[in-house]
Chains A and B, each alone.
Chain A
Amino acid sequence: MDWINAIVQGVLLGGLYALFAAGLSLIFGVMRLVNIAHGDFIVLAAFLGLSLTTALGVNPLTVLLFVVPIMAGIGYVLQRGVLNQTLGDDILPPLLVTFGLSIIIQNGLLEIYSADPQKMNAGALETASVAVPGGLHIGVLPLLMFVVAVAVIAGLQWIFYRSALGRAFRAVSDKQDIAQLIGLNKAHVFGLAMALSLAVVGIAGVFLGIRTSFDPSIGPGRLIFGFEAVIIGGLGNLWGTLIGGIILGVSQNIGAQINPGWQLLAGHIAFLIVLAVKPRGLFPRID
């Protein structure tokens, strides 16, 4: 029974990891950019949520209404102000600039909020659970996170393949110069892609902050989870990130069930096994 419970909780945790991964996958797909500061932005969003909940005295879920647009704004400005200048054939500039950004966010947060672990309080929602057949209890909050993750990925999928914005994303992804010729401003399109990515990061950050305690140093760990989910699921496949996140979450929970010290290790090992057996991920997009 403990095992089934571990697996079910792992699947639900996978939803959160998919939220970490979706933004990463999106910007890589559009502009081949890997944002090393991605995890630190998740933590930034969590702290932003914390400050807003305290200042406004509202439920953490309500502050999503503010955190998501603020993060999207940061994303757009960051992309147009800094990151667009780094894009090109050389992979080093974007990598090193976002690495520097990661150090700046971590130490900036440390300066403002100190190294003490923080947590957002969502009240009764945190302890509420529903009974399912088989004597299992599923927390309402993890379930909500999973549902939101599925909805976010479905939404991104729709934007990417069905909307005008998605057409612009795919056009600049395929051939930047030609996309410019047909009237797309790639600087603007890239800005929108980063805004969308950080909007998802905003959701992920607030949920992270409700689910566990967080401090300024945990960003890189979240980046790694998101990255592993992307690679396990298959590059360029948005639904793949959900499956990758679930595999990662389940592996971690099974590892923790065997020995508490093996939780993170088990997740990394699952990732390395996938990398060894199927280097393009389990469900690579065929293009």
Chain B
Amino acid sequence: MSSSRYTISRSSPASRIAATIGVILLIALVAAPWWAGRADMRLLSEIFLYLSLACLWNLLAGYAGLVSVGQQAFVGFGGYMLFALAMFAGISPLAAIPLAGLLGALIAVPVAFLIFRLRGAYFAIGTWVIAEVFRLSFAQVSSLGGGSGTSIPVGIVRSMASSRSMREATTYWLALGMAVLVLVVIYLLLRSRNGLALTAIRDSELASSSYGIDIWRHKFVVYVVTAGLTASTGALIFLQKLRISPDAAFNVNDWTAFVIFIVVIGGIGTLEGPIIGVIVFFLLRETLADLGTTYLLILGLVAIVVMLKAPKGIWGLIKARYGIELFPLSRRVVDQKSEN
């Protein structure tokens, strides 16, 4: 029994099947403007943008241990940057989306230096204060409509594409592209050296720091990258809405509570979790949204029960039972003889 029989592998039959299905699904989704109706495309775009926010929050809370309840700061900031760049600098909205992300990452640097002084749960409330500061500050900017907000001028919207259907297809593809980009960035990050460090930090801060991992630097990088991508997503969200106001842009329910719900239900600390969670969330919403406040009561209750009874979420239950992994992240020892 020589050791050369054994190799280290990351992919598994499940992950190879998932990759194939994923590619087919992606092709079908890219083609949606030719087969889906206008309302379906709007719903799908919203799902993609929530998926993007959920994956980013999951990276922050599930991997880097940075539990933020203030990510609406960056969603709203990105949205406002899109409006400001398009309205005052005359930049095309398409170019403004990555720029908004860049600015979001830049503003996250001083923010991180401040709130990284707070630990654990106090960090969470600190992020909320930052979001409030952003909201109150943007409400003071009268050229962006102050407290009541503003709409994007028709001319700028028209400049995006020649026809309405083309414009709708463009925003749809942008939303899909954003979700795919976020998934790919997080996947590559987690497979890299930094990802290994992050996973170690997630499992034990004490142990990983004793191995020489610079915890502060890793958390800082994750926070800034997440902020940038969140701001880009925010820019896209408000490009679809065409209207922004401080209360909508920095809404804790829309951009943080729902996102946390999605991640907790799906399974925190896994890449698959947010995908499952976003499906469950939208199924619940499409069936229960007419109930209004009762719907939110149910969401809160479900989140509490899941956190108490199945803290790893739906994907955690599946993983514990069947041991499958759709994204090949962990390493396994493969016996080559039995494999062949």
Contacts and interface: CB of A to CB of B under 8 A. Distances in A.
A92 B299 CA distance: 18
Nearest to B256: A99
B293 A110 contact: yes
Interface residue range, chain A:
35 or more
A7 interface: no
Interface string A32-69: 11101000000000000000000000000000000000
Nearest to B295: A107
Given A231-B122, A261-B139, A82 B132 contact: no
A28 B128 CA distance: 18
A94 B125 CA distance: 13
Interface in B227-261: 252-253, 257, 260
Interface residues of B, number: 39
B296 A107 contact: yes
B133 A100 contact: no
A230 to B, nearest CB: 8
A275 B117 contact: yes
Contact of A86 (B114, B118, B307): B307
A111 B61 contact: no
Contacts of A96: 260, 264, 303-304, 307
Contact of A100 (B128, B137, B301): B301
A111 B121 contact: no
B192 interface: no
A265 B147 CA distance: 14
Interface stretch (A124-132, A137-145, A266-274): A266-274
A85 B308 contact: yes
Interface string A65-90: 00000000000000000100110000
B122 A92 contact: no
B268 interface: yes
A83 B128 CA distance: 22
Contacts of B125: 34, 36, 223-224, 227
Interface string A206-236: 0000000000000010011001100100000
Interface of B: 61, 67, 69, 114-115, 117-118, 120-122, 124-126, 128-129, 132-133, 136-137, 139-140, 252-253, 257, 260, 264, 268, 293-294, 296-297, 299-301, 303-304, 307-308, 311
18 contacts: A28-B121, A34-B122, A36-B121, A91-B120, A92-B311, A93-B307, A93-B311, A94-B121, A96-B307, A97-B308, A99-B260, A100-B301, A108-B293, A111-B297, A262-B140, A265-B136, A268-B133, A275-B126
Interface of A: 28, 32-34, 36, 82, 85-86, 91-97, 99-104, 106-108, 110-111, 220, 223-224, 227-228, 231, 261-262, 264-265, 268-269, 271-272, 275-276, 279
